[in-house]
Amino acid sequence: MPAGALSAPPPPPPPPPPPADDGFVPSVLLNKSRDDLEHILNSPQLLEALFATTHPTAASADAVLVASLQYNAELAARLVALESKLVTAREGAERTLVETRQLERTWRDREKEMYQALQPFSSPALYSRLVNAVGDAEAVADAMAESFLEEGGRDVGEFVREYRALRKTYHLRKERKERWDEGRVGGWR
């Protein structure tokens, strides 16, 4: 028998109550006086006891009632047995929920750290660095030219080589910036 299965099927539905005009009169009442009959009629407890002991459908109704009560008692016992399992399962679910929420918070913190770590490599940050690098390369080349003109005693060939290298860097960076501005940078932007 599987866990939680009941030992008996649910009881059949109770029979319909006897019709009020079935004409049944208990044999014990046939020889009673009018005063005795009025006394019985005015006493609900006596009427109920008389019906329960003498009416033909009372025994079958009692049997159905007893079967229903036994079935309800079995259901109640089963529910009591399942209650501890439910409490254990509920506590486990609550623990799992708390752990899951903690993991979600940890994930959000890690995700935030990840985005902060990747921020210097984002498109706006890289573009800003490129714009600054273009300005820096131009400023360094201009400063070198001014320095050469002010000093005057340096070797012209060495100056030209260094100046050309700086200007080459400047123009490469400027070309990259122009390509970026035109949208010709590879699909990662």
Can you tell me whether residue 24 is helix, strand or coil? Answer: coil
Residues 35, 103, single domain; the answer is yes
pLDDT digits (tens, 9 = 90+) for 94-122: 999 999 999 999 999 999 999 999 999 88
Q: How many domains would you assign to the chain?
A: 2
Torsion of CA 9, 13, 15, 19, to 10 degrees: 170
Residue 177's nearest CA partner among 140, 128, 141 is 128
Residue 9 pLDDT class (50, 70, 90 cuts): low
> Can you give the pLDDT at residue 4?
54
Residue 11 pLDDT class (50, 70, 90 cuts): low
Percent of all residues in the chain with a pLDDT value above 90, rounded to a whole number: 48
Which of residues 116, 137, 156 is at a domain's end?
116
pLDDT digits (tens, 9 = 90+) for 48-93: 888 888 887 777 777 888 889 999 999 999 999 999 999 999 999 9
> Can you give the pLDDT at residue 5?
56
Which of residues 94, 116, 138 is at a domain's end?
116
> What is the residue-wise DSSP string for 131-185?
HHHHHHHHHHHHHHHHHHHHH--S-HHHHHHHHHHHHHHHHHHHHHHHHHHHT-S
